[in-house]
Amino acid sequence: MQHQTTIDPVNLEFTPEVERATRAIFERVRHVMPDVEWPIHAPVIAAINELKRVRNATILAHNYQTPEVFYGVGDITGDSLALAQEGARLDTDVIVMCGVRFMAETAKILSPEKTVLLPDMDAGCSLAASITGADVRRLKEQYPGVPVVTYVNAYADVRAEADICCTSSNAVKIVESLKTDRVIFIPDGYLGRYVAKQTDVEVILWEGACEVHERFTAEELRGYRRDYPGIHIMAHPECPPDVLSEADFVGSTSGLIRHIADERPKQVVMVTECSMSDNVAVEFPDVDFIRPCNLCPHMKRITLPKILRSLQTLSPQIEIDPDTAERARRSLERMLAV
Ligand code: 13P
Ligand code: SF4
């Protein structure tokens, strides 16, 4: 496991050997990436894929990662729920999370014996940053006996105080699984409102927001309809309610992909993080994607050179206080059991 490598991420070259080793990946991504970029990415991709074998490492990549990460080095790709479910089953020594810190924490909580790497520890999330464990304790005092459902976009100390986690793909199901009249839903106020619309359960909200999805406006969506008659508009439930009302379909990142696979619309706009459309366009070359580009600055902190460096040095590693991790694991496992 502690094998040392001499790969230098600065002097990696686009040799014929690298070109051969990465050709199949290039063929997949070439229509969403300028050809001139490939000689820069390919040597790092080849080095990461080689080092993965040496380290017995698995790379988990969220749908918001750039195509060179998502298709170049990702072993398991998907939405937050899929990464949590698959990460829990992995038979590997090292997990590299190409996503943000709360996702890496999920992997560590579910696999405490594994080394979990996050190539940039500053890959945060405005939702996760909006609430602390102390805030949740205060909410519980204010609403005694009301169960707390936390969107998984929260740190371990918050999940440790919650009764159960949810993701955007199972939030309604999780809220209803509790069989209560009221729930406290944290930290995403917009997702909470979306859930409240789909259920009779009263939802007490926390006003956190995703800095990427809250930037979309209903007027912007009406503009797409004017400029592209017949366009199919799909939005993530982290968007504000008036934006969701303009959409033809609302779903988690994987829900949006499944919807495209089922409906095969001619032209779509995915009202969510920017890289997602590139990744999905690789799978559906016959669909025309109009791409608004709201980037998540946290997701974009994960780059190929940082992934390589992380595998070389086996750092930075996610560490969670064992008592907090144990309590957070219960709320995650309750979700996975629903
Ligand atoms: P999902 O992939 O679960 O839809 O989450 C979206 C998101 O914003 C993750 O940061
Ligand atoms: Fe957080 Fe939004 Fe970025 Fe997802 S897209 S990690 S919710 S800031």
In this model, does residue 49 exceed pLDDT 60?
A: yes
pLDDT confidence of residue 28: 94
pLDDT surpassing 70 at residue 1? no
> Which of 97, 120, 158, 212 to mutate for ligand 2's pocket (most ligand atoms within 8 Å of CB)?
212
- pLDDT the model gives residue 291: 86
152 lines ligand 2 (CB under 6 A): no
Ligand 2 nearest atom to the CA of residue 210, by list position: 2
In this predicted model, what pLDDT tens digit does every residue of 103-147 receive, in sequence order? 999 999 999 999 999 999 999 999 999 999 999 999 999 999 999
How is residue 188 written in tokens?
A: 């995403």
Tens digit of pLDDT for each residue in 226-272? 999 999 999 999 999 999 999 999 999 999 999 999 999 999 999 99
Whole-number pLDDT of residue 9? 54
| pLDDT over threshold 70, residue 91 | yes
Ligand nearest to the CA of 297: 2
- The model's pLDDT over 173-224, given as tens digits with 9 standing for 90+, comes to 999 999 999 999 999 999 999 999 999 999 999 999 999 999 999 999 999 9
For residue 297, the ligand 2 atom closest to its alpha carbon is 3
pLDDT of residue 10: 58
Model confidence, pTM: 0.93
Q: Which ligand is nearest to the CA of 128?
A: 2
Give the Cα separation of 110 and 22 in Å (integer).
32
Question: Is 218 in contact with 246 (CB distance < 8 Å)?
Answer: yes
Q: With a cut of 90, say whether residue 325 has pLDDT above it.
A: yes
**Confidence tier at 2 by pLDDT (50, 70, 90):** very low
Return the pLDDT at 82: 87
For residue 234, report the distance from its CA to the centre of ligand 1, in Å: 14
Residue 12 has pLDDT above 90, yes or no: no
Q: Give me the mean pLDDT over the 154-164 stretch.
A: 98
Q: Read off the pLDDT band of 327 (50, 70, 90).
A: very high
Q: Is the pLDDT of residue 293 over 90?
A: no
How far does residue 296's CA lie from ligand 2's centre (Å)? 6
pLDDT given for residue 89 in this prediction: 87
- The three state secondary structure string of the chain is CCCCCCCCCCCCCCCHHHHHHHHHHHHHHHHHCCHHHHHHHHHHHHHHHHHHHHHCEEEEEECCCCHHHHCCCCCEEECHHHHHHHHHHCCCCEEEEECCHHHHHHHHHHCCCCEEECCCCCCCCCCHHHCCHHHHHHHHHHCCCCCEEEECCCCHHHHHHCCEEECCCCHHHHHHHCCCCEEEEECEHHHHHHHHHHCCCEEEECCECCCCHHHCCHHHHHHHHHHCCCCEEEECCCCCHHHHHHCCEECCHHHHHHHHHHHCCCEEEEECCHHHHHHHHHHCCCCEEECCCCCCCCHHHCCHHHHHHHHHHCCCECCCCHHHHHHHHHHHHHHHHC
Select from 316, 242, 236 the least CA-distant residue to 276.
Answer: 236
| Distance between Cα 236 and ligand 1 center (Å) | 8
Ligand of minimum distance to the alpha carbon of 62: 1
Q: Closest-lying ligand to the alpha carbon of 301?
A: 2
Label residue 306 by pLDDT band (50, 70, 90). Answer: very high
Tell me what pLDDT residue 338 has.
Answer: 92
How does residue 3 score in pLDDT terms, banded at 50, 70 and 90? very low
CA 251–ligand 1 middle distance (angstroms): 10
* Averaged pLDDT, 15-28: 94
pLDDT of residue 69: 98
Instruction: Give the residue, out of 298, 301, 302, with the most ligand 2 atoms within 8 A of its beta carbon, to mutate for a pocket test.
Output: 298
Question: Please, what are the domains in the chain?
Answer: 16-124+299-313 (3.40.50.10800), 128-210 (3.40.50.10800), 213-290 (3.40.50.10800)
Ligand 2 atom 2 nearest Cα: 210
Going by pLDDT thresholds of 50, 70 and 90, the confidence category of residue 6 is very low
What distance in angstroms lies between residue 300's CA and the mean position of ligand 1's atoms? 14
Please tell me the residue having the least CA distance from ligand 1 atom 9.
80
> What pLDDT does residue 88 have?
81
- Percent of the chain at pLDDT > 90 equals 90
Q: Which of 236, 257, 298 to mutate to test the pocket of ligand 1 (most atoms within 8 A of CB)?
A: 236
Mean pLDDT of the chain, nearest integer = 94
